[in-house]
Amino acid sequence: MPIDLEAVIEYQSVPTAQLWDMLVATHPSLIQPDLECDLYATHLPASRVSSAIKRTGKPHFDVDFGRGTLSCGAVGNCNLSFVQVNGCVTDDEDASGWLSPLLSLEPFVHARVYDREYEFWQNASDPLQYEVRGRSLEGVKIFRNQNLNYDFVDTSSNPGRRVMRDGYIEALGHIMWLSPKFWEKVGRSILDVEASGLCRSTSKVGSVDVLRFADQPFTSAEGEEGLLQDRLRSLLFPHSDSPAQ
């Protein structure tokens, strides 16, 4: 099963087309120049994607190349940009390959490996999302927004929640790459992690700490796996209970 990858850098610190070029360069046999891609509802070969991104001047892209997707987004009020690689990351070593050109960037903040399906349901706040996919709401916590007069799913305490913060994304991975910028933003250090006993292994790529917390991406909010995620969130994101950006 493919796994998924997300990396966060400082807001619009790297030209969007350059991010595409950097990612493609890590896997030239996967994304060959003549490979058909979908970008901004247009079909075009991979060789023309970079120029198309430059031409639009948009701070985001979502390129479907059949075997996976490469995406980039920018969130101005959170001072961050992010890159996602979905559907084509084969394993942890491959994730490191995709990340390799980003880790040396001065504006790199952090990255993680995750399971997209699990994270979708951990953050699905609209009951219609359940209805459309035929998923039961039994046992799901619901609250009513009085201003909107609408019921929402309460995801605020889910172990796999993804929350936008100032300069970083509060979200977990079984492997995480954390830069000095990340530690500064969250007010923690690698020493805190080492002292916690929660980390299975640590290593470094340049100044970036590489932490492994589990053998596989998180896929459950229950039992020991859910408890581990709660403990990691408290460890890595001490401001987790504060309102989202």
Q: Which three-class secondary structure state does DSSP give residue 56?
A: helix
Q: How far is it, in rounded angstroms, from Cα 25 to Cα 4?
A: 18
- The 10s digit of each residue's pLDDT in 53-83 is 999 999 999 999 999 999 999 999 999 999 9
CB neighbours of residue 12 within 10 Å: 14
Provide the pLDDT confidence category of residue 8 given band limits of 50, 70 and 90. Answer: very high
Give me the pLDDT at residue 241, please: 73
Asked if residue 40 lies in contact with residue 56, where contact means CB atoms within 8 angstroms, the answer is yes
Q: Would you say residue 16 has pLDDT above 70? A: yes
pLDDT at 20: 98
Q: What is the pLDDT of residue 245?
A: 63
- pTM, two decimals, is 0.95
> If you average pLDDT over residues 132-142, what whole number do you get?
91
151-210 pLDDT per residue, tens: 999 999 999 999 999 999 999 999 999 999 999 999 999 999 999 999 999 999 999 999
Please state, rounded to an integer, the average pLDDT across all residues of the chain.
Answer: 95
Distances in Å between the alpha carbon of 142 and those of 100, 154, 159, 178, 239?
A: 41, 6, 17, 34, 24
In whole angstroms, what is the distance from residue 201 CA to residue 54 CA? 40
- Percentage above 90 pLDDT, the chain: 93
- Name 71's bridge partners: 62, 84
pLDDT tens-place string over residues 100-127: 999 999 999 999 999 999 999 999 999 9
CA distance 36 to 154: 40
For residue 201, what are the β-bridge partners? 212
